[in-house]
Amino acid sequence: MGTRREKGGRVDGLEVKLPSFFRCPISLEVMRSPVSLCTGVTYDRDSIQRWLDSGHRTCPATRLPLPSPVHLVPNLTLRRLIHLWSTPHLLPPPPPSSSPDDLLLDLRSPSSDPLPLLDRLSAFFSSPATDDSEKDRLASSVHFAPALVSLVVDDNAGLETLRMAVRVLALVLGMESRRELAIAALLAHLDGSVSALLKVLKSGDGAEDYRIDAATVIESILSSPSCDSERRILIVEKPDLFPELVRLIDPPDTMDPAAADAGLRCLLAAAKGRHARAGMARAGAVPALARALTAAELPATTAERALKAMEAAARSAEGRAAVCEAAEACVGAVMERVLKVGREGREAAVAVLWAACVAAEDRRAREAVAGARGGAAKILVVMQGGCSPAAARMAGELLRVFKVDATSCSVGYDTKTTHIMPY
């Protein structure tokens, strides 16, 4: 009584016939992603799409004309029936589909192991072969982000599942048009979301890419207009946030420029308000930023963010104290980078030096600035380079730190060029 496997199956020696309506009328194979036309006939998505792409504008079964555009409506009931019928005792389940409708259906269906689905979602959103409109269609579903976030906040989820869910979130947040939908879902479960993100951020060695994803998601939340002051405080008061961002920027071994950049972006997004700035200073951000600035592999754009982060820290008493405590290292790193970054970075560098030398009036910082090779010349370049009035004022006050001899040439100025002092 045996039959070919594709025609049916056997359970306890009994032949089970494949229901005919499980087959696509075009391919005659079991449908993986059944969709219905306005004529009421259901086809497998791939088969009917090939039929339409070849120029046909009629229903293959009924020959009735189809409207333009043709709408393919997922037949979710039939798909569930096929999935239930295709057990290991009967037919092997069809290969997973990567259409937005099927991905969303699988995401909303409970699964003992969501990792395969998360792998498919990661491939879907990261692949350049996936049409942007398809990505947008999935991300814009009102059910997608909540279902994805539910995996993130699941206390029973393993670390690998959590990492992959955060990876998908980071990819979706890179879509400007739909990021607020994902952020709204994260804010609805903010405490659980941030705790899970910090768990990924604290991952051990070899998990740098996932840690970058976690920092990216936290930065997106903090940068969102929907993240009010109360929610911001909840995030920045997490005791692990600033230490883990510092570790991402300044690892104990080799620096990863991409990780440093992600950490700095998140650090800058978090550094709003005195309490947050003091927290980053207490976490050791200032000496870590100084070490990062001296790394040859740090790109100029990332170095500029590091200078802006050090400026943010220096706006707090704890930050200024940290700059003064490591005056030689901080001043050396800032002076080394000041002319190698853009305007915002230069102004941030001047602000850091001003905070330590003028605002804090620290002797160690003043000595380090006065002894910096070419320091006065660099400050003059910033001052004369079209900086803001506030930066120009700070630069002018910094120049008083340098001792001026009878010929008006600054000590530490390592060329023979003479600049006219601004006062």
* Cβ–Cβ under 8 Å, residues 323 and 310: yes
Averaged pLDDT score across all residues of the chain:
85
For residues 52-60, average pLDDT:
87
Q: What's the CA gap between 47 and 26, in Å, rounded?
A: 7
pLDDT at residue 406 greater than cutoff 80: no
Q: What is the pLDDT of residue 411?
A: 40
pLDDT at residue 92 greater than cutoff 70: no
For residues 352-363, average pLDDT:
94
pLDDT at residue 2 greater than cutoff 60: no
Percent residues over pLDDT 90 in the chain: 55
- CA dihedral angle for residue 319, residue 324, residue 327, residue 329, rounded to 10 degrees: -30
Q: What is the pLDDT of residue 17?
A: 67
Q: What pLDDT digit, counting tens, does each position of 131-171 carry?
A: 888 889 899 988 999 999 999 999 888 889 999 999 999 99
CB-CB neighbours of 343 under 10 Å: 14
For residues 102-120, average pLDDT:
82
* Cβ–Cβ under 8 Å, residues 395 and 402: no
The encoded tokens of residue 225 equal 């207009």
pLDDT at residue 10 greater than cutoff 70: no
Q: What's the CA gap between 288 and 283, in Å, rounded?
A: 9
Pick the more confident residue, 211 or 410: 211
pLDDT at residue 214 greater than cutoff 90: yes
Q: What pLDDT digit, counting tens, does each position of 225-257 carry?
A: 999 999 999 999 999 999 999 999 999 888 889
Q: What is the pLDDT of residue 176?
A: 77
Res. 95 pLDDT band, cuts 50 70 90: low
Res. 413 pLDDT band, cuts 50 70 90: very low
Pick the more confident residue, 76 or 58: 58
Q: What is the pLDDT of residue 7?
A: 43
The predicted model scores a pTM of: 0.74
pLDDT at residue 288 greater than cutoff 80: yes
Strand order of the β-sheet with 73-74 is 42-44, 34-36, 73-74
- The H or E element spanning position 15 is strand 14-17
